[in-house]
Structure 1
Amino acid sequence: MNEKEAHQFSSLKKEVAAKMSRDFNMSSADISEWKGEDIVIFQEALLHQVKGQISTKWFYTHMKSSSKSLPRIDVLNMLSQFVEYDNWADFLHRNSNKKKSKRNKITSLFIFLLVPVLIWSIPNFISSKDTFYTISIIDFDTNEPPENPIEFELLKPDESSQKITTDSLGQLVLPVNEALNTLVIQSPYYKKDTLQRKIMNEGGEIFKVKTDDYALMVHYFSKSKVKDWKRRRRMLAKIFHNEAEIIEVYKGTYGIEKYTKQEFINKITMPLTSLKTLEVIDTQRQGGKIIKMRVAQQ
């Protein structure tokens, strides 16, 4: 981030702080002095007013201190919208005009007619390139972004599918377009779900995902010490179909090993030193129970 960008972002932070001080009883008008409760109030205000989210870690990195890099354009757009600009480009343009108006006076009809044209054309030209729609992924149970990135398959008519992953804030950022966007969750630890949207305008929304408790149980059982073997075996017997087939994939090779329901239960309930934490790759269900599962040792 160069000196000019640092000054521009600093100006945006001052406007954010001023708005929060007007709307809420903040402990300080200086954003660098905000702490726990102030940050939570700010996060709630963002979510309520522009349906945006930032993590506490991100706040400390970019808002409370001086980061080496400028935040992503979608976050800059979100913060700009929070202080009632159209987007980051609009913020830059309008603040640039404020500085120019202090230095210059309009002295001719030509300038008087030209400036409105520029005010209309430049931000529209820039914003057309940088218009995004942000989908914030939230865990249904915790009401927080998932701790680890979640992969989605993005499907569009007449296009090849794409694999996209949530960022550090638990968000998916999609460009505005008129196509039907279909997002299919691919995480083994969350239940299959699909979101379809025609993204006509920039903005955002929250999409809540539900954990796959069975997959999480297998992962947890494989890495934890067992105190009650019989209870654990009973629990596993309930979640697997009697005809279940479990395939263990060996990373870095083409080898696999197949297990029946009982063989797999024996594998993860025996105190074997060779057993490492199992990562669930995917699952299929039948009658509410796991009929197929692929796993790999970490």
Structure 2
Amino acid sequence: MTELEKFQELKQKVLLKYQEHHPFFQGTWKTFSSQDIQNLIGLIEEKCKQTISEKWIYTHLKPETNNKIPRKDMLNILSEFVGFSGWDEFTFEEKISESKKSKVSKKSKKWLFVLIIFLILSIFSIFLMIYKKEESKPKTIQLNNEYTNEKVNAEEVKVFEVKDSVKQELEIKEGKVQVSNNGNEKSKLVIQSPFYLPKTIVINPNGTTTEPPKRIDLKPDDYAMMLKAFMLSDIKDWQTRKEQLNKILSDNLEVIVMLKDDLGAEYFNKSEFSQKLIVPTASLKKMKIVEIKNDANDKIQFIRIKQE
């Protein structure tokens, strides 16, 4: 604050001091009358034992703005009138007041800055927690037949989740499986079935976050699907079925039927197994294929069956 600004403030304090003695006056220096000037001169003489002329008041106090400050001895009188020992103390007190205001302002700004940073970090932490929670939720994958677009039979497919060489079978419900989704943890899904071609889905390759697919289409093994149909359907044209079986079954076919109640297993070659399919029985429909292997020509070479 400049000395002229401090003088303007001193003028306002003088005016307020005058109003303490003459509360009926509610104006400004511009409306300060001749009688008010006389009253002010009397108050200053009474309190400070000093005299200020009417002309001085007109010259320095009445104007709204001042181009220069008055002599210091006059400033001392006015400063004493408003409660200070002199102009030096008045300006010193003003500096202290300004310093306090400045410190308070800086302190407020500092706390405001700290508060803003705290709020930003809090909001970021909340969003991070929500994101991690959402990210760690198990993801559901639909398994469909690639050709028919229908969901797979849970009894005909096995899905394994492999992490760090640990293989865990996942439960299939209504053709859907749920897989964990733990950030950057590398894992893969291994899908096996006697009726579909095997499939492996890598999740988070090279440690980069990759969302598991929402749907996986499995390509059916045509010969395996035909064999399943033969075992479940009633015979209509045994000669046609015999010809079809000859096309899809390898001459070196081996069939292992695991009997119920751990009673052992039965072995069939191509001829024996074909005859069993050509002339189906009630027990045939209770057999469930659990494993199929093909030869180099893609014909079925090995079948493992579970008796239910």
1:295 paired to 2:305: yes
Aligned position for 1:203: 211
Contact 1:215 1:280 in 2 (8 A): no
2-structure distance, mates of 1:129, 1:202 = 16
Q: Structure 1 length as normaliser, TM-score? A: 0.56
Q: Deviations over 1:145-200 (max 9, x none)?
A: 3243631233334x322212444352442323434423221222211222223263
Distance 1:201 1:166, change over 3 A: farther
Higher relative contact order (CA 8 A, sep 6+): 1
Q: CA deviation at 1:119?
A: 1.9
Match of 1:128 among 118, 127, 132: 132
Q: CA deviation at 1:230?
A: 0.7
Aligned position for 1:154: 161
Contact 2:287 2:307 in 1 (8 A): yes
1-structure distance, mates of 2:161, 2:279 = 40
Distance 1:227 1:152, change over 3 A: same
Distance 1:226 1:285, change over 3 A: same
Aligned position for 2:237: 228
1-structure distance, mates of 2:283, 2:125 = 66
1:265 paired to 2:274: yes
1:282 paired to 2:291: yes
Q: Give the secondary structure class of the aligned counterpart of 1:128.
A: helix
2-structure distance, mates of 1:252, 1:282 = 19
Q: Deviations over 1:190-222 (max 9, x none)?
A: 112222232633634232211122222222222
1-structure distance, mates of 2:143, 2:281 = 37
2-structure distance, mates of 1:273, 1:208 = 33
Q: Give the secondary structure class of the aligned counterpart of 1:217.
A: helix
Contact 1:176 1:202 in 2 (8 A): no
How large is the RMSD of aligned CA atoms in angstroms? 2.7
The 5-angstrom pairing of residues 76-91 of structure 1 reads none
1:217 paired to 2:226: yes
Structure 2 residue ranges without an equivalent (≥5): 1-110
Distance 1:117 1:254, change over 3 A: farther
Q: CA deviation at 1:270?
A: 1.2
Q: Give the secondary structure class of the aligned counterpart of 2:260.
A: coil
Contact 2:249 2:300 in 1 (8 A): yes
Aligned position for 2:101: none
2-structure distance, mates of 1:293, 1:246 = 5
2-structure distance, mates of 1:160, 1:273 = 41
The structure that is helix-richer by fraction is 2
Distance 1:125 1:224, change over 3 A: same
Q: Structure 2 length as normaliser, TM-score? A: 0.54
Contact 2:151 2:174 in 1 (8 A): no
The 5-angstrom pairing of residues 1-298 of structure 1 reads 109=112, 113-132=117-136, 133-148=139-154, 150-157=157-164, 159-168=165-174, 170-198=176-204, 200-201=208-209, 203-205=211-213, 206-286=215-295, 287-298=297-308
- % identical equivalent positions: 28
Q: Deviations over 1:91-118 (max 9, x none)?
A: xxxxxxxxxxxxxxxxx95765544322
Contact 1:134 1:203 in 2 (8 A): no
Aligned length: 190
1:123 maps to a residue whose letter is F
2:161 maps to a residue whose letter is L
Contact 1:136 1:172 in 2 (8 A): no
Contact 1:134 1:174 in 2 (8 A): no
Distance 1:186 1:193, change over 3 A: same
Structure number with bigger Rg: 2
